[in-house]
């Protein structure tokens, strides 16, 4: 299983890519300047999505606790 880092996930292509990747079961760190816009993605994929704002652009953080440190499992071989 691949792990993705996807930026610009608040709207448009970035958001569509994030949703497609997560729907296929991949792990993803999804970012947006306003992390509050990612709460629905983090809630929909709590085991595979890590939503955060880039450290240089943090304005708000999601209230759902999705910005915690998380370790993804390695794929089984």
Render each residue's pLDDT in the chain as its tens digit; 77 residues.
Answer: 789 999 999 999 999 999 999 999 999 999 998 888 999 999 999 999 999 887 765 555 555 555 555 556 656 65
Domains of the chain, earliest start first: 1-77 (3.40.50.720)
pLDDT of residue 23: 96
Instruction: Kindly give, in sequence order, each residue whose CB lies less than 8 Å from that of residue 18, ignoring residues fewer than 6 positions away.
Output: 4, 6, 9, 28, 30, 41, 49
How far apart CA 75 and CA 27 sit, in angstroms, is: 10
How far apart CA 75 and CA 69 sit, in angstroms, is: 19
pTM for the whole thing?
Answer: 0.69
């Amino acid at each position: 299983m691949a792990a993705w880092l996807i930026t610009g996930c608040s709207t448009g292509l970035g958001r569509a890519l994030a949703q497609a990747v997560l729907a296929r079961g991949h792990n993803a760190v999804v970012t947006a300047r306003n992390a509050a816009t990612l709460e629905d993605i983090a809630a929909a994929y709590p085991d595979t999505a890590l939503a955060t704002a880039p450290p240089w652009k943090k304005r708000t953080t999601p209230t759902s606790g999705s910005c915690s440190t998380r370790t993804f499992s390695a794929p089984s071989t």
